């Protein structure tokens, strides 16, 4: 720790502390993280390979060799509240903390509409076909470059066939089970972390107020 830091301060992972930051501080920290990671991984021109220079206060990189301008990237991600009656589809990745389950998510591919990405990702990861899809909300997630867009979809079938390369497990969870998990009383399920859009969407679904989430439009 730098000696000029006040006593008792320490470095922390932004995801672990962002819910404790004021909104403007969280936005500034998220922006700084995203730009810092972009500069660290995009130091060379993608057109000619020459080393590029920072410009426009960090909002741009310029190639002195071919003149190409480069700008920070944002990767669109869909995260899905897939329901079948009174149940929601939750999955877990083997890298997550023990017992943690969340909504399924995936990247939007080039030339793909978000609605199509919702159906494709759920079918690929869990083998569940999805019918009607509607937009709910969004959240910037600069870890490192994601823009999360949340969607609600209706499952056409409840049979699950997971892709083991994507998920360790997927399961249907009733509202009653989810409420139990949110109270910390479920023997097998720990919900998504506070501050994540998955948690906000599940909170609203559990309280039967998804319409309010859609009206607000974001989860910041």
Instruction: Find the CATH number of the domain harbouring 139.
Output: 3.90.79.10
The confidence score (pLDDT) of residue 1 equals: 59
What 8-state DSSP symbol labels residue 51?
B
Domain range for 203: 75-216
Q: What does each C-alpha distance from 89 to 104, 105, 125, 153, 187 come to in angstroms?
A: 8, 11, 11, 10, 18
**Domain finish residue from 72, 90, 121:** 72
In a shared domain, residues 49 and 65: yes
pLDDT at position 25 over 70: yes
In a shared domain, residues 59 and 154: no
In a shared domain, residues 105 and 65: no
Interval 168-196: pLDDT, tens: 999 999 999 999 999 999 999 998 888 88
Separation between Cα atoms, residue 107 and residue 78, nearest integer Å: 6
Report the DSSP pairing between strands 75-84 and 87-92.
antiparallel
Give the mean pLDDT of 188-205.
Answer: 91
Give the mean pLDDT of 11-18.
Answer: 77
Question: Is the residue at 212 inside a domain?
Answer: yes
The confidence score (pLDDT) of residue 58 equals: 95
In a shared domain, residues 90 and 184: yes
How many Cα neighbours within 13 Å face the side chain of 184? Answer: 1
In a shared domain, residues 56 and 144: no
Separation between Cα atoms, residue 132 and residue 164, nearest integer Å: 26
In a shared domain, residues 201 and 179: yes
pLDDT at position 62 over 70: yes
Give the mean pLDDT of 39-43.
Answer: 95
CB 122 within 8 A of CB 156: no
In a shared domain, residues 110 and 47: no
Question: Is the residue at 190 inside a domain?
Answer: yes
**Domain finish residue from 23, 57, 72:** 72
Pick from 152, 100, 102: nearest CA to 130:
152
Interval 134-146: pLDDT, tens: 999 999 888 888 9
pLDDT > 90 fraction of the chain, expressed in percent and rounded: 72
**CB contact set of 181 (below 8 Å; sequence gap of 6+):** 101, 173, 189, 190, 191
SS (H, E, C) 57-77: HHCEEECCCCCCEECCCCEEE
Q: 197-206 vs 175-182: helix axis angle to the nearest 10?
A: 120
> Of 164 and 142, which is predicted with more confidence?
164
Indicate the number of domains in the chain: 2
In a shared domain, residues 52 and 122: no
The confidence score (pLDDT) of residue 142 equals: 84
Question: Is the residue at 28 inside a domain?
Answer: no
In a shared domain, residues 139 and 167: yes
Question: Is the residue at 8 inside a domain?
Answer: no
How many Cα neighbours within 13 Å face the side chain of 19? Answer: 9
pLDDT at position 216 over 70: no
In a shared domain, residues 132 and 56: no
Q: What is the pTM of this model?
A: 0.86
pLDDT at position 127 over 80: yes
Give the mean pLDDT of 28-43.
Answer: 92
Confidence of residue 105 (pLDDT cuts 50, 70, 90): very high
In a shared domain, residues 194 and 124: yes
In a shared domain, residues 83 and 148: yes
CB neighbourhood size of 177 (10 A): 17
């Amino acid at each position: 720790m730098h000696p000029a830091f006040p006593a008792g301060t320490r470095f922390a992972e932004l995801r672990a502390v962002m819910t404790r930051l004021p909104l403007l501080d969280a936005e500034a920290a998220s922006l700084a993280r995203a730009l810092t990671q972009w500069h660290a991984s995009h130091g060379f021109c993608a057109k000619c390979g020459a080393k590029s220079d920072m410009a426009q206060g960090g909002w741009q990189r310029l190639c002195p060799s071919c003149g190409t301008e480069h700008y920070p990237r944002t990767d669109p991600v869909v995260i899905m509240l897939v329901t079948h009656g009174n149940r929601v589809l939750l999955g877990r990745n083997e890298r997550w903390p023990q017992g943690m389950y969340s909504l399924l998510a995936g990247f939007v591919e080039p030339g793909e509409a978000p609605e199509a990405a919702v159906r494709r990702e759920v079918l690929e990861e869990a083998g569940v076909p999805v019918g009607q899809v509607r937009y709910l909300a969004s959240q910037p997630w600069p870890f490192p470059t994601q823009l999360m867009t949340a969607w609600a979809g209706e499952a056409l079938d409840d049979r699950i066939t997971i892709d083991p390369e994507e998920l360790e497990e997927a399961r249907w969870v009733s509202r009653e089970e989810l409420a139990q998990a949110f109270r910390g009383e479920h023997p097998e399920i720990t919900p998504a972390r506070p501050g994540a859009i998955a948690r906000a969407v599940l909170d609203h679904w559990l309280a039967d107020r998804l319409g309010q989430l859609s009206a607000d439009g974001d989860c910041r």
